[in-house]
A and B are shown apart, each in its own frame.
Chain A
Amino acid sequence: MINRFFKQIREGFSDLLIVWYDEFRNVLSDAAVLLLFFVAPLFYPIVYGLIYNQEVAKEAKLVVVDDCNSPESREFRRLCDASRDIQVVAICADMEEAKELLRQKEAFGIMRFPKDFSKNIAHKEKATIQLYSDMSSLLYYKCFLLTATEVSLEMNKDIQIARMSNATNREAEVETTPLAYEEVAMYNTQSGFDSFLLPAFLMLLIQQTLVIGICVLAGSTYDQKKFHRMMPIFRHKRGTFRIVFGKTLCYVMIYLIMSFYLLWIVPMIFSLPQIGNPIEIVGFILPYIIACTFFGMTLSILIKEKETAYVALVFLSIIFLFISGISWPGSAIPDFWRYVSYLLPSTFGVQGFVKINTMGASIPDISFEYRGLLIQIVIYFITACLIYRHRINKECV
């Protein structure tokens, strides 16, 4: 009895290794899978890093229409020009000229000082500056609005202080701003695009290449009727676990190495915020890769032909990115889509990784994401086994 049990285990392991070895060969012999598993993860992040390299928009181009041309308006535009975010590229005589520059994409915003600008200030009436921004880029708009507001606050304070001739500096300061404030941007201190998008993107890349790769591999065996290559396993009629585990072992090994590059070296190259504990990251990545693998195996039932995987899955990447709650805040995702998002490993993977790596959370802090991944592993493992069982049975008949 015991002997039989041990024999079974030994057999199981040797079969597992056969499947594992076989899968490795499959991966290495398929050019498309090589592209997905190795080339894409190697080069794609670099290209993305180059795209968002600047992190933030700087020196957004602005034209000024100064109908007032007073010391105040000149001071205002000089302060804007001196800021990091705005560059005054031209001073136009009228709005028409300024609009023309906007149309030619020589500038992305117009700042207009009305004729009575300095008069109003002198008369203690409200003076208004008009700011027009081209909305093709929200980043430029933000540059203009934030800087202009900042400069106006600064000048407002000076004007008020100048009006109070009889106060000491400190008194004036307190009177103009009775309540001071301080702003702190956490985790992504310069509000950079790279630091914000790249971690989510890298995690999504792992899931998408892995899932499409698995579907392509599954499709190949389907296409070429290569299931017979697993014949030694069919002899025992109990092959499902061995096949699933053997293949999983192969994918996990490859992706652990790739994720070391993706999640450790790439962030280092682009000096993204990286304050996570490496051991905790590994502890989080491992279930993520396993969940992705089982998820991919489950999806592979839909794939009758290896090329179909691309047709069905590529466009979904963008939806997966939005649904993961990074670019569009999770609290604003409608309930229906939030429940849909719980079906995807990427939702938990992206959130968990950003929290550990960018925000320095530890695994207990992200127990929600962690549990989500574990539940996914169990469910997708069962479905993957059922599917393989079904296929093996069909093949045996």
Chain B
Amino acid sequence: MIMIREWRLLTSRKLYISVMIGAPILCIVFFLTLMQDGLPNEMPVAVVDMDMSNISRRLTRQLDAFKQTEVVTKCTSFSEARKLMQEGKVYGIYYIPEGLEHDILSFRQPKVSFYTNNSYIVAGSLLFRDMKTLSVLGSAYVGKEMRTAKGQTEEQAMAELQPIAIESHSIGNPWVNYAIYLCNVILPGLLCVIIIITTVYALGSEVKQKRSRNLLRIAKDDMFTVIVGKLLPHTLIYLLMITLIEVTLYGYMQFPCKNGLCSMLVVSYLFVLACESLAVFFYSLIPIMRISLSISAFFCMLSFSISGFTFPVSEMHPIIQTWATVFPLRHFFLLYVDNALNGISFCYSWTSYLALTLFLFLPILSSKRLHTVYKYDVYDI
């Protein structure tokens, strides 16, 4: 009964349809088109070439050949390049001093400099990597020329130049792909925002429209029936949406998922239920809809930072570290790392499963309070 009633409510309002179905699809399309290349490519760099020699031109060409870097202008002075940087037109400057070639040939060890704009950290650090590689290689290249001139083979020369080499393996994300790193958490995170806000809204609307007593009557005053009946249609839609997200990410986009899609689906279903339970708890705690919506909005926005997928939780303030455990997205992130990236077994991550399950008990704690709210349908103060 309640389910059918709720289903009619949902389908009768454009708001519900567009937020519950339209918004997650918008998010998927947005993030996957934004990060379609995995890494931001062809980021603008200015080269200040004071030397205009063979070697300096070769350095410029090589810098341009890096995938993430594009040399957009060649400036004649550093201040010109700095102005471009300040206007945000370039994210990095590569400075080649005058007399570079001459100094190299006469063993005077000239010095190139590179500048990155780190107020854009992603751009800055990627360009830093490219320009540093270029400078190290540039040195090695010159060294190689000197050695091959002395009659060594290229291999010998390289072994002599670089006696120790680092071979980097990035577990689970071998291409260091930003789309894998960000989308897998942001998309479920956005769904978490939508779930919590919409659920609080749906619960509050009952009181606002003065329908809550009617609802209690249908359910014969049983709060359990009310909550389950009301939220079941929502849950079905959300489960469908999270399935869509996970299938798009791991199926269509082929992002690595070591423990298989099924394990991630289990995790995300648990996550959806945890978010809904939390929403019920929020609304029961502060039954004034606007205020509980504000609080849940702040909570949701915070969960992106505090879940630790951009900045590790272990580096945060100790107080924040403790609080991170009350955010479902934090546990989702940990489970995602264990299941999709590292592919390790259940016994290492059971605490997070337990935490997500604990969220499911919140509505039971708060059902009595919700009952009172629904009975005396006070909407505003």
Q: Which residues of A does B touch, CB under 8 Å?
A: 30-32, 35-36, 40, 44, 47-48, 50-54, 56-58, 76, 102-104, 120-121, 124-142, 144-145, 148-149, 152-153, 155-156, 159-160, 163, 171, 173-189, 191, 193, 195-196, 199, 212, 216, 273, 306-308, 310-312, 314-315, 317-319, 322-323, 325-334, 336-337, 351, 354-355, 358-361, 365-366, 368
Contacts and interface: CB of A to CB of B under 8 A. Distances in A.
A84 to B, nearest CB: 13
Given A135-B181, A136-B341, A328-B35, A130 B169 contact: yes
B373 interface: no
A186 B114 CA distance: 10
B135 A179 contact: yes
Given A32-B293, A185-B128, A121 B138 contact: no
Contacts of A50: 316-317, 319-320
Interface in B307-333: 308-312, 315-317, 319-320, 333
Contacts of A319: 26-27, 30
Nearest to B189: A318
Contacts of B295: 35
A196 B31 CA distance: 21
Nearest to A138: B181
A104 B348 contact: yes
Contacts of B100: 179
B186 interface: yes
Interface in B3-42: 15, 19, 23, 26-27, 30-31, 33-37, 40-42
A32 B33 CA distance: 36
A152 B348 CA distance: 34
B119 A188 contact: yes
B149 interface: no
Nearest to A351: B88
Contacts of A134: 171-172, 337, 341-342
Contacts of B194: 315
A314 B189 CA distance: 12
Q: Which 8 A-B residue pairings sit nearest by Cβ, starting from the closest?
A: A332-B40, A32-B290, A181-B135, A329-B123, A188-B118, A136-B337, A135-B173, A180-B111
Nearest to A127: B164
B121 A137 contact: no
Contacts of A31: 288, 290-291, 381
Nearest to A334: B33
A251 B39 CA distance: 40
Given A180-B112, A182-B111, A318-B304, 7 more contacts: A50-B316, A50-B319, A134-B172, A325-B120, A332-B37, A354-B119, A359-B88
A359 B109 contact: no
B34 A337 contact: yes
Contacts of B298: 40, 44
B142 A178 contact: yes
Contacts of A189: 118
Interface residues of B, number: 116
A179 B15 contact: no
A329 B341 CA distance: 26
A135 B156 contact: no
Contact of B40 (A329, A360, A368): A329
A177 B302 CA distance: 47
B367 interface: no
Interface stretch (B196-204, B216-224, B244-252): B196-204
A187 B33 contact: no
Contacts of B117: 186-187, 359
21 contacts: A35-B291, A130-B167, A131-B168, A132-B169, A141-B176, A174-B109, A175-B146, A178-B139, A180-B111, A199-B119, A307-B208, A310-B293, A311-B15, A327-B122, A328-B122, A329-B123, A330-B88, A337-B34, A354-B119, A358-B119, A360-B86
Contact of B19 (A125, A180, A312, A336): A312
A196 B91 CA distance: 14
A135 B132 contact: no
B237 interface: no
B274 to A, nearest CB: 18
A176 B204 contact: no
Interface string B113-143: 1111111111111001001100110110011
Nearest to B319: A50
A189 B117 CA distance: 9
B144 to A, nearest CB: 10
Contact of A365 (B23, B83, B160, B193): B83
A177 B138 CA distance: 9
Contacts of A354: 119
Nearest to A336: B33
Contacts of B354: none
A317 to B, nearest CB: 6
Which residue, of B115, B201, B298, B315, has the highest number of chain A Cβ atoms within 10 A? B315
B167 A131 contact: yes
A131 B160 CA distance: 21
B136 to A, nearest CB: 7
A363 to B, nearest CB: 12
A88 B115 CA distance: 31
B294 A36 contact: yes
The winner among B30, B108, B142, B158 for most chain A CB atoms within 10 A is B30
B190 interface: yes
B38 to A, nearest CB: 11
A136 B297 contact: no
A35 B294 contact: yes
Given A44-B298, A125-B159, A311-B201, A177 B165 contact: no
Nearest to A104: B348
Contact of B160 (A160, A323, A329): A160
B305 interface: yes
Residue from A173, A212, A330, A332 with most neighbouring chain B CB atoms (10 Å) = A332
B220 to A, nearest CB: 29
